Structure 1
């Protein structure tokens, strides 16, 4: 077996060839820290005619952040790369600030990448990030999915994310930068032990743990996760998709181990709702226990009904009623609507309007009919196209069998 090249840049270029070799364009997220600055420099050298763009998310959490974003912009333009500073407009301070900041960063970068028609966005995660994440999640008692290594690529928030530096350590990258007199920004928050990741980073150093060995352990757990995903995919082979609902064969589901049932339910709920994240583990376990007892249950906006030899997952009517009305073309992150006329909008049909459309003739269960998209003009019901055809109005689900299989295998 050939040993990987000692030069970290060579390993990153090889990963870029593998992950993005056929992409005509690529975005790079650059904070100004050593990892992302090295990534930007290496991608600039690797680009070979590809369209490369750089973005920095300014979370506004430190007084220096605006100036640091400008500094990144200057470095990017010196390499001939266009740069955008994306400002996070915080609406609330409640909850986990770091989690809110992470989600905001991904959403801002995704919107920027889609506006600029970029094929993917490269992130500067390293082997050190793998090791730190593993230890953080061990401390929280995470399951296989939480402990598994970050993957080299994933699709989320409407864009593909690439991590070409997972095989490289943080110290290697800084040595590479120093050898070329390339400056980077040291974030003072990296010294603050009130942040969990910094406490874990310091603990790893204090115990003398091997970063590469921890990253390998996360990779091994990732292989176990992939095997479980394959088992779940086999258990879901008899799934039926009909009118925006998902129907699972009950026997393979019930006979599968608890972890496989959990994976199928997570995939099913995310398929129904379009959520970026799975339901919380405690609510998920409650739902599984209720299903084992033959009860129907709601979970994160999905309605789950075991009946006979099937398990039916559909949109919870109350969640559909809470969805914002839309003038098209998309509604409830579930449906695409065409044929709307001026002044018309889409909202849930609702239980009170069922009698107006004689829903029983549609063949849909009552709750599915109530959660279905209806066309309204002011407060007047115009049509319920899923229950009864109403040309030129047309509704079609955003997700089909391919998306469900992808969610079953999702990392």
Structure 2
């Protein structure tokens, strides 16, 4: 049977074909609310022949959450899908609770996806979420990046995230569920006016704002953002990456409009640090002002240094010293060091040891050398492989210049 284009199943399945048609194993995040329950059923219909797995994050913020996770598990198994409940072990109530819960949710889901070899995790954001996010960010005075629509896909936390329901309204999905006699859970926090999103949602309803029109506006802003990203990518074409350092041509940077300079600095900072999110706008503006006057400045763990006809960006020593020691794998989200023996670990070289190595011969500054990875055995320095290659240690950067250009486009 061919479904009409207005049918939620038609729209969501078409989006899944486009976003995930070649993926053999996919995860679905399901809270139990109407949007995610509809997504789970639509995924089960679409994904025949694929391995579809379901996960529910229990944030422990309400006494009912554990039972709701079990309800989702029963519904998933009735569709022939495996289900896992992921528990958030909250360490503190400090900070923005909802933002912390969101990040914890994504990290838990990313770890689950990686453990199970899933190509992506599908999220249940709808056109209503697009419209509400646009209004929330307008109220906060966000720039064009904040006002642009959510992307249908993005990579973060080592995982690909898909949103195939951005073109579908919340009410359409609930009507689709009712027509099939499928129940869902109404989270009481959706009526809690302590949360910005709830207040915005209620204000939109009171004003009679048109959700599809707002969602379209967010998409138009997204198109404008994409155009700016292409301009920034053109300005970044002569960027060079070497030894964990990124350099930008100063003339091309200075000739670019302020918004393009901001994009270049933000992408470069993320390239240095490997951060999943850009720095706060106020700190970026401070850094841009410093660079404009030729001064060195730090930004979220990166050092920015105008030098001659280039702008150099590299890891801040203090940030590198805070990076946890590793005995294998990736250190400081920047370097992989191989060849370690039992009892050895990787940590920053540090300013105290720089004098013992000939860092100038390696073409590094003193700060770059101090922030570089070193092999230690207890408190004894064994090797500084970036400064002076030494067998059996091998060192590999996690990111190269092409990663920077992708960050410019993604920002």
TM-score (normalizing by structure 1): 0.98
Tell me which moved more, 395-404 or 212-221: 395-404
The equivalent of 1:225 in structure 2 is: 225
The equivalent of 1:241 in structure 2 is: 241
Trace 1:277-288 onto structure 2 (pairs within 5 A): 277-288=277-288
Q: CA deviation at 1:391?
A: 1.1
Q: CA deviation at 1:358?
A: 2.1
The equivalent of 1:89 in structure 2 is: 89
The equivalent of 1:32 in structure 2 is: 32
Q: Does 1:265 align with 2:244?
A: no
Q: Does 1:354 align with 2:331?
A: no
Trace 1:92-241 onto structure 2 (pairs within 5 A): 92-241=92-241
Q: CA deviation at 1:215?
A: 0.2
Partner secondary structure for residue 355 of structure 2: helix
The equivalent of 1:370 in structure 2 is: 370
Q: State how far apart, in whole Å, the 2-side matches of 1:329 and 1:183 are.
A: 45
Q: State how far apart, in whole Å, the 2-side matches of 1:304 and 1:34 are.
A: 47
Partner secondary structure for residue 357 of structure 1: coil
Partner secondary structure for residue 336 of structure 2: strand
Deviations 1:51-110 (A, max 9, x none): 000000000000000000000000000000000000100001001100000000000000
Q: Check the 8 A contact 1:328/1:338 in 2, yes or no.
A: yes
Q: Does 1:6 align with 2:6?
A: yes
Q: CA deviation at 1:10?
A: 0.7
Tell me which moved more, 180-189 or 322-331: 322-331
The equivalent of 2:253 in structure 1 is: 253
Q: CA deviation at 1:357?
A: 1.3
Q: State how far apart, in whole Å, the 2-side matches of 1:186 and 1:329 are.
A: 43
Q: CA deviation at 1:330?
A: 1.3
Q: CA deviation at 1:403?
A: 1.1
Q: State how far apart, in whole Å, the 2-side matches of 1:103 and 1:330 are.
A: 21
Q: State how far apart, in whole Å, the 2-side matches of 1:290 and 1:139 are.
A: 29
Q: CA deviation at 1:4?
A: 7.4
The equivalent of 1:382 in structure 2 is: 382
Partner secondary structure for residue 86 of structure 2: strand
Q: Check the 8 A contact 1:152/1:163 in 2, yes or no.
A: yes
Q: State how far apart, in whole Å, the 1-side matches of 2:4 and 2:264 are.
A: 37
Equivalent pairs, count: 409
Q: CA deviation at 1:48?
A: 2.2
The equivalent of 1:341 in structure 2 is: 341
Partner secondary structure for residue 399 of structure 2: coil
Q: State how far apart, in whole Å, the 2-side matches of 1:160 and 1:358 are.
A: 42
Partner secondary structure for residue 279 of structure 1: coil
Q: CA deviation at 1:329?
A: 2.1
Q: CA deviation at 1:283?
A: 0.8
Q: Check the 8 A contact 1:4/1:11 in 2, yes or no.
A: no
Q: CA deviation at 1:388?
A: 0.9
Q: Does 1:391 align with 2:399?
A: no
Tell me which moved more, 3-12 or 97-106: 3-12
Q: State how far apart, in whole Å, the 2-side matches of 1:363 and 1:158 are.
A: 32
Q: CA deviation at 1:392?
A: 1.1
Q: State how far apart, in whole Å, the 2-side matches of 1:349 and 1:233 are.
A: 34
Deviations 1:98-139 (A, max 9, x none): 000000000000000000000000000000000000000000
- Runs of 4 or more consecutive aligned structure 1 residues displaced over 4 Å after TM superposition: none
Q: State how far apart, in whole Å, the 1-side matches of 2:296 and 2:407 are.
A: 23
Q: State how far apart, in whole Å, the 1-side matches of 2:56 and 2:348 are.
A: 39
Partner secondary structure for residue 386 of structure 1: coil
Q: CA deviation at 1:321?
A: 1.0
Long gaps (5+) in structure 2: none
TM-score (normalizing by structure 2): 0.98
